[in-house]
């Protein structure tokens, strides 16, 4: 009985790398233009305030990462009337930066109730790009996940944008701005 468990364990252990290899690679060398997201040069995890609840593993809004638990898999440059060219996620939703965050080293400050309105952009190990320089992308650690950064600035979605290509968060509280592909604030164009 023990010998059978050992043999079974060895078989599973040997088969696992082969099965995982067949699933593809996330190193950015496969098809498409996916690239590994470089970690920020000095990834900083900002502690949540003592009054903030702990993050939920499901990302259900109990902590500082709220909204859909789906990872963002791509970013693209999009022209939006009245705002100019901005960065959008794989669903066409405009991405924003927060003036109170810091780009060097990357540090997020939006936590707790703030993340119910401004949803951190959580990514896996690679992100497809179109019109956005891969060298400008990075991540900052956030509650055990990776939040996407652009030119060091942590990125967010605005809960008030209910459809693709909206930028209802532009200029909110004179601190939130749609992000241009350079990482700078998008400027209103008209």
DSSP for 76-113?
A: EEEEETTTEEEEEETTS-BEEEETTSEETTEE----TT
Question: What parts of the chain have a pLDDT lower than 50?
Answer: 3-32, 40-68, 190
Q: Are 145 and 169 in contact (CB under 8 A)?
A: no
How does DSSP classify residue 27? S
| CB neighbourhood size of 141 (10 A) | 16
**What is the predicted pLDDT for the residue at 70?**
78
**Among 100, 111, 97, which Cα is nearest to 45's?**
111
């Amino acid at each position: 009985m023990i010998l059978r468990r050992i043999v079974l364990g060895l078989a599973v252990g040997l088969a696992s790398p082969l099965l995982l290899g067949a699933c593809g690679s996330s190193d950015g060398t496969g098809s498409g233009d996916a690239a590994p997201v470089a970690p920020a040069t000095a990834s900083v995890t900002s502690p949540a305030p003592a009054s903030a609840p702990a993050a939920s593993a499901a990302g259900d809004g109990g902590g500082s990462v709220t909204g859909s638990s789906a990872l963002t898999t791509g970013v693209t440059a999009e022209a939006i009337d009245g705002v100019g060219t901005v960065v959008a996620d794989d669903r066409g939703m405009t991405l924003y930066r927060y003036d109170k965050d810091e780009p060097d080293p990357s540090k997020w400050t939006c936590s707790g109730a703030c993340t119910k309105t401004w949803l951190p952009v959580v990514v896996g190990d690679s992100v497809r790009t179109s019109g956005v320089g891969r060298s400008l992308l990075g991540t900052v650690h956030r509650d055990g996940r990776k939040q996407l950064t652009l030119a060091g600035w942590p990125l967010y979605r605005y809960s008030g944008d209910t459809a693709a290509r909206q930028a209802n968060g532009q200029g909110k509280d004179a601190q939130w701005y749609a992000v241009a592909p350079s990482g700078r604030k998008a400027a209103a164009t008209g």
